[in-house]
Amino acid sequence: MKSPIAAAALLAAMFGFSTAVYGHSHKMKHGNHGAHTMGGVKVTSAWARATPGKAKNGAAYVTIANDGQHKDRLVAVKGSAAKKIEIHTHLMEKGIMRMRRVEGVDVPAGGTVTFKPGGLHLMLMGLEEPLKKGGSLSLTLIFKKAGEVAANIRILSVGAMGAKGGHGHGGHSSHK
């Protein structure tokens, strides 16, 4: 049986239904976004050595933990602290420790990669200003799967070996 009241009820129902759909899709977007933010890798430690005098280059060190199900790979780093930022490692060549640029660093599922003096480091080439102890700088680490992950780098002393301290050896002053 058709009546104006039934038609109005139907319209109200349709209106109500479409409102519910909008509300639902909004919630879904939020849910997906929230689930997407991590992607498995996170920076658990991030520090740099203060630079002496007018050093053009500096080095930053991060610890990356991957608690996801899949391996990931650090492929690039960007930031405004230096003109160019590269991923470097140290290799022993004919008895001499040399720095080498690497294209990327794998972070295995369930694994941790620790950058440290004498090993992997983020090379800050052409510093905009000296790195001062007690200061900080921001870098963005770019992973193959997780995408961009921000890292707030704490600047420690010139010879710092990490949060636990220790002795320093050499620096990056000879790097060209």
For the CB of residue 108, give the shortest distance to Cu ion in the complex, in Å. 23
Contact 24, 14 (CB under 8 A): no
Q: Is 123 in the site for Cu ion (CB under 5 A)?
A: yes
CB atoms within 10 A of CB 144: 16
Q: Candidates 10-18, 32-40, 98-106, 131-139 — which segment interacts with Cu ion by CB under 5 A?
A: 98-106
Residue with Cβ nearer Cu ion (85 or 156):
85
Residue with Cβ nearer Cu ion (42 or 86):
86
Q: Is 55 in the site for Cu ion (CB under 5 A)?
A: no
Q: Candidates 11-19, 38-46, 120-128, 143-151 — which segment interacts with Cu ion by CB under 5 A?
A: 120-128
Q: Give the one residue of 43, 76, 99, 158 binding Cu ion; rule: CB under 5 A.
A: 99
Contact 158, 53 (CB under 8 A): no
Per rule CB under 5 A, count of chain residues that contact Cu ion: 3
Q: Give the one residue of 58, 88, 143, 153 binding Cu ion; rule: CB under 5 A.
A: 88
Radius of gyration of the chain (CA): 25
What single string gives the DSSP state of each residue in 105-170?
EEE-TT-EEE--TTS-EEEEEEESSPPPTT-EEEEEEEETTTEEEEEEEEEE-TT--STT------
Question: Given the rule CB under 5 A, which residues bind Cu ion?
Answer: 88, 99, 123
